[in-house]
Amino acid sequence: MVRVKHVLMVLGSYDQSAHEGIAQYAGQHGWHLNVSILKDFQLPEHWQGDGIITSLNNSRALEEFVLQAKVPIVDLSIWREDIDLPRVAADNPALGRAGAEHFLSLGHRHCAWFALASNPVSRARYIAYSERLADAGLTCIRLDTTRPQDAVYISKRLKALPKPCAIYTKSDYDSVWLSNLCMDSGLRVPDDIAILGADNNKLICENQAVPLSSVRHDLRTIGYEGAAMLDRLMDGQKLEQRLKLIPPRGIAVRQSTDALAVTDPLIRELLEYLKTHFKHSIGTAELAEMFGVSRRSLEVRFRESMHSSIREHLIGIRIQEAKRMLNYTNEPIETIAALTGFCHAPHFSNTFKKKEGISPIRYRHQ
């Protein structure tokens, strides 16, 4: 008989989605998954088993327990990069860029960043977010360099921001905190302040006075792939890579960012047109004639509002729809190419890889 593997799940930062991914893998492979810490709220004494799946944070007790266990360990976070462990974690730079891309697509010219606490995760997301904004010619306003947990101080900073302003936060918890400060300060969300978080915790995001948009941090896949990596370690296999990064799965758009920041009425109308006609072949000259302006004028006004060309923006819409279809449908690549406005599958695949860094097939697999 095959011996049952005894695995301890001890997450320093608990998340239900990550737990679901771990539990799914454990069930498929007949593990005995010990989650007793969720009931007892303390580390188990004299535990003996085959492996540990964890997410280390700043808890010294958790760190000491895990490192003294003398069994294979996989960490699901980058909080403790100073500890050499195999890891499956979020692609935090990709999460940062996703926030910037979302605000740029809405035409925001003033963007900010906020995190209640500074840690490796928030720093990685902020750096990628601010760099992507810089590429578009925008400066990121930081709201968290001084007294980030001082509600009175942050409220003053919010009121002083140029309006409209789009704020990306490290997590949904931070978004809720900011959203409440905005309402207490008489600031309208999203008209004055657009707010975007990360993790897409539906219990948080969908139950606010203004429902919160959020980057879909793929914690379920992180949990599942972390369990798969631990399984290989428990089998004595060598890992080809000790760090596996899981990209986000797009953005759940809700009311907190659901407003265009574009003031040019012509460009607002054009954006609405592109959003509903992206499947068709659309040329700039054709659009200029349709909207009754010269091609040059349309190109200049669009770039001033959106920090990109019309073609770049249109490709972005098509790629986002393609990612949605790759994630949530089983349609073949040829069909996805046709339904998202690409002339043929090779063109779609080449454009997708140039934009996302991986092929559509690999993106779907991940």
Does residue 42 register a pLDDT over 80? no
What is the dihedral angle through the alpha carbons of 157, 216, 93, 103, rounded to the nearest 10 degrees?
Answer: -50
High-pLDDT (> 70) share of the chain, %: 98
Whole-number pLDDT of residue 15: 86
Does residue 262 register a pLDDT over 80? no
Q: Could you state, in order of their start, the residue ranges of all structural domains in the chain?
A: 6-90+219-246, 92-217+251-257, 265-365
Same fold flag, 6-90+219-246 and 265-365: no
**Model confidence band, residue 1 (pLDDT cutoffs 50, 70, 90):** low
Query: 92-217+251-257: what fold?
Result: Rossmann fold (3.40.50)
Whole-number pLDDT of residue 228: 97
Kindly report, residue by residue over 59-93, the tens digit of the pLDDT. Answer: 888 899 888 888 999 999 999 988 999 999 999 99
CA atoms within 13 A on the CB side of 202: 3
**Model confidence band, residue 305 (pLDDT cutoffs 50, 70, 90):** confident
**Model confidence band, residue 40 (pLDDT cutoffs 50, 70, 90):** low
Whole-number pLDDT of residue 232: 97
What does the block give as tokens for 234? 């428990």
Whole-number pLDDT of residue 41: 66
Query: 6-90+219-246: what fold?
Result: Rossmann fold (3.40.50)
Yes or no: is domain 265-365 CATH 1.10.10.60? yes
The angle subtended at Cα 328 by Cα 260 and Cα 345, nearest 5°, is 85
Work out the average pLDDT over 232-238.
95
Does residue 98 register a pLDDT over 70? yes
Could you say which DSSP state residue 289 is in? H
Could you say which DSSP state residue 3 is in? P
Does residue 328 register a pLDDT over 90? no
Whole-number pLDDT of residue 258: 85
With tokens 């964890």, the residue in question is: 54
Sheet with 6-11, edge to edge strand ranges? 32-34, 6-11, 51-55, 73-75, 87-90, 243-246
Do strands 251-252 and 213-215 pair parallel, antiparallel, or not at all (unpaired)? antiparallel
Distance separating alpha carbons of residues 308 and 340, to the nearest angstrom: 20
**Model confidence band, residue 364 (pLDDT cutoffs 50, 70, 90):** confident
Work out the average pLDDT over 40-47.
74
Kindly report, residue by residue over 168-200, the tens digit of the pLDDT. Answer: 999 999 999 999 999 999 999 999 999 999 999
Does residue 243 register a pLDDT over 90? yes
Work out the average pLDDT over 267-271.
89
**Model confidence band, residue 229 (pLDDT cutoffs 50, 70, 90):** very high
Work out the average pLDDT over 119-137.
95
Whole-number pLDDT of residue 96: 97
Do strands 193-198 and 111-114 pair parallel, antiparallel, or not at all (unpaired)? unpaired
